[in-house]
Amino acid sequence: MPRINTILFICATPLCLLACSSWGKFWVPGEGAKITAYSIPAIGATGIITGTQISVIAPTLTTLSPQVATFTTTGQSVSVAGVPQTSGVTSNDYASPLFYTVTAADGSKKTYTVTLTAPRSYGGSSLRLWLRADSLALGDGADIANWNDESGTANHMGQATLGQRPIYRTNRVNGMPVASFTDAANSTMSGPDTNINDQSNGSLFIVIAVTADTSLRNILTLHGPQGRAFDLTNGPPTSFIQGRNGAGYNFTSALDFGLNNFIAIGSVQVAAISVNEIWNGDEKTSSGLTYATYDTNGSGSNANYVSNGNLEADIAEILYFDAALSQTEQDKVFCYLNTKYNLASTRRVCDS
């Protein structure tokens, strides 16, 4: 009996790490309140689970509508705003984040935040370029001849010259691959600029790590000469700049994001009012404009370019919208990127 009494005392102590369910069975409190898998089959979307955050990306969805999720859980029950959830049955509106409460058999609870990101529906369906390194079916060290655009606009990028192609590298950021551009190889890619028509508004999101300091380095140019250019200062330091190609910069950052440091950089231009620089969802700086408009009417050779050949950087993903996204839309994009690439922010972007 003393042995049994001792075991019962330990299990009843609030500070104990193990709780008893029955003789010979133990569990850590809260371990029975997990969501272990989450998907929305109707739109072909699988959730990325990081801690209690579940990010679901819907690449082809152009209009948000209620969806039915399929999930697995270790819990006894699951609810959203008090409404019981049945996997494969219950429909929810994903316009705002959903908070799933999982209740374990021991009564402990855990809340998961589920955010659905549908880039093609944002900015009035203005997504014009979406490049994902993880969409490339290549082996480590392979050269990238073509990088297909997933925006639905067919602004695919390519490089015909073998020696100037970026290199596919695996497992560079949270297990994800990148397209590696080097100055030595003069690596660059180009493609059409279909339906990039807004001469002032625009929103860029790019997951990038600069790997070496070079000069006169360009990340992305839209609409060729006199178009919109996203560049880097001659490093060090490595700072973000934006302007009209060939006419000067309307935004120059004073922030150095260094080398070999992956960041989701956002640049949102609102008409002729401002350009906001955002890192992983945290606004860093805002500036007024000098050059408010960009040529989209056919001056010179119209094309999009990733790198001008001087860039030393690893790029995991690029999204460009031909509009100024709302704060909520920006947060949803950053929620997706931060969760996918394990990037940290001060703001809780997944709760917007």
pLDDT tens digit sequence for 265-282: 999 999 888 889 999 999
Q: Is the domain of 241 the same as that of 111? A: no
The number of folded domains in the chain is 2
The percentage of the chain sitting over the pLDDT mark of 70, rounded to a whole number, equals: 88
CB-based contacts of 332, cutoff 8 Å, min separation 6: 115, 116, 117, 118, 122, 349, 352
Among 100, 117, 134, residue at a domain's last position: 117
CB 259 within 8 A of CB 210: yes
Q: Is residue 28 part of a domain?
A: no
The burial class, CB within 10 Å (0-12 / 13-18 / 19+), for 161 is exposed
Token pair 């133990």 is found at: 26
Is residue 302 a contact partner of residue 188, using CB atoms and an 8 Å limit?
Answer: no
Does residue 153 lie within any of the structural domains? yes
Which pLDDT score, from 0 to 100, does residue 296 have? 63
pLDDT-derived band at 218, boundaries 50, 70, 90:
very high
Count the neighbouring beta carbons within 10 Å of the beta carbon of residue 79.
Answer: 16
Q: How many CA atoms lie within 13 A of 81 on its CB side?
A: 8
326 inside domain? yes
**Which residues, at least 6 apart from 326, have a Cβ–Cβ distance to it below 8 Å?**
none
3-state SS assignment for residue 163:
helix
**70-73 vs 35-40, strand pairing mode:** antiparallel
**Range with lowest mean pLDDT among 77-81, 158-162, 253-257:** 253-257
- Mean pLDDT score, 90-119: 96
Instruction: Report yes or no on 92 lying in a domain.
Output: yes
Same domain, 113 and 124: no
Per the document, the length of the chain is 352
Q: What is the mean pLDDT of residues 147-173?
A: 97
- 192 located within any domain: yes
Q: Do residues 112 and 243 both lie within one domain?
A: no
The mean pLDDT value for 22-28 works out to: 44
Would 93 be classed as within a structural domain? yes
Ramachandran angles phi, psi of 333, nearest 5°? -65, -45
Which of the listed residues 117, 132, 151 is the one where a domain comes to its end? 117
Q: Same domain, yes or no, for 174 and 278? A: yes
Tell me whether residue 17 is in a domain. Answer: no
- Domain end, chosen from 60, 84, 117, is at 117
pLDDT of residue 197: 86
**Residue 176 and residue 109 in one domain:** no
| Averaged pLDDT, 82-103 | 97
pLDDT at residue 253, rounded to an integer: 84
Report phi then psi at 295, rounded to 5: -75, 120
Q: Which of 61, 161, 101, 122 is nearest to 333 (CA)?
A: 122
CA distances (Å), origin 205, targets 60, 90, 132, 186: 18, 33, 12, 23
Q: Which of 4-18, 128-142, 173-187, 208-222 has the lowest mean pLDDT?
A: 4-18
More confident residue, 21 or 349: 349
CB 264 within 8 A of CB 280: yes
In angstroms, the Cα distances linking 217 to 27, 33, 189, 310 are: 55, 49, 14, 5
Query: Is residue 105 located within the same domain as residue 140?
Result: no
Same domain flag for 41 and 187: no
Say which amino acid occupies 251. F
In a domain, 27, yes or no: no
The CATH number linked to 145 is 2.60.120.200
Domain co-membership, 124 together with 96: no
Residues 235 and 201 placed together within one structural domain of the fold: yes
Distance CA 54, CA 115 (A): 6
What is the residue-averaged pLDDT of the chain? 88
- What average pLDDT does range 126-130 have in this prediction? 97
Q: What is the CATH number of the domain that holds 99?
A: 2.60.40.2340
Q: Is the pLDDT of residue 289 over 80?
A: no
- Say whether both 104 and 234 belong to one domain: no
Pairwise CA distance, residues 322 & 269, whole Å:
10
Residue 192 and residue 289 in contact, taking contact as beta carbons nearer than 8 Å: no
- pLDDT above 70 for 21: no
| pLDDT category of residue 133 using cuts at 50, 70 and 90 | very high
Q: Which domain does 200 fall in, by range?
A: 120-351
Same domain, 78 and 144: no
Based on the fold, state whether residues 111 and 223 are members of the same structural domain: no
The Cβ of residue 325 has, within 10 Å, a number of other Cβ atoms equal to: 25
